[in-house]
Amino acid sequence: MIAEDSGTYTCRAVNLVGSDEVLCTLTCRSSAQILTDTQNELGLEQIHYLEDKSKYQRQEVIEETTTQAPIFTTSLNNVEIKEGQRAHFECRLIPVSDATMKIEWFHNNKPVKAGSRFIETNNFGFVALDIMYAYPEDSGTYTCRAKNIIGEAITSATAIVHCKIRHLNRSSFIR
């Protein structure tokens, strides 16, 4: 940096909700060891061309906001599986490109606990919940709630997870 780089720099962020900015003052001292004159005029012209801020000037972009409350275009289906199998719930949702959309999953009206067995997916309107290696206690009602700044939508389904039947052989009773 050279003395000419000294000054106040501003970083500003703006969206539909508001704006904020932070200021920073930079002071650079000149040094006799720094050469500010070019010895390659053609190279300097190329640098000026690349550093031309008018070509790369950022413009204020208004974020797209949704004009639609969430709607499930397909609902969750009931699941009946055996213990140890994967339970899979899926549905489709619009609008698909809503950055304000929040997807929440519930099991018997309690939030699904995030963990290695529960995998949530939300990609371009495809919403899914996978329960890896389901247990009988995973049985119950599963609800998916989609919520944005305009409204919310809910879809529910039931999961039934049957216990594994453990077969005992006669030798386990003989002592």
pLDDT above 80 (res 118): yes
Q: What kind of fold does domain 71-162 have according to CATH?
A: Immunoglobulin-like (2.60.40)
* DSSP type of residue 4: G
User: Do 130 and 118 form a contact (C-beta atoms < 8 A)?
Assistant: yes
Residue 74 neighbours by CB distance under 10 Å: 13
This prediction's pTM? 0.59
* DSSP type of residue 144: E
- Using only the alpha carbons of the chain, give its radius of gyration: 30
Strand partners, 131: 87, 118
What local confidence, expressed as pLDDT, does residue 25 receive? 86
Domain locations in the chain as residue ranges? 3-56, 71-162
pLDDT tens digits for range 135-172: 999 999 999 999 999 999 999 999 999 998 765 555 55
CA distance 15 to 158: 41
**Joined tokens for residue 109:** 């009206």
DSSP assignment of 60-115, as one string? --PPP---S--EEEE----EEEETTSPEEEEEEEE-SS-TT-EEEEEETTEEPPPB
Query: Which candidate, 64, 79, 63, places its Cα nearest to that of 19?
Result: 63
What local confidence, expressed as pLDDT, does residue 67 receive? 81
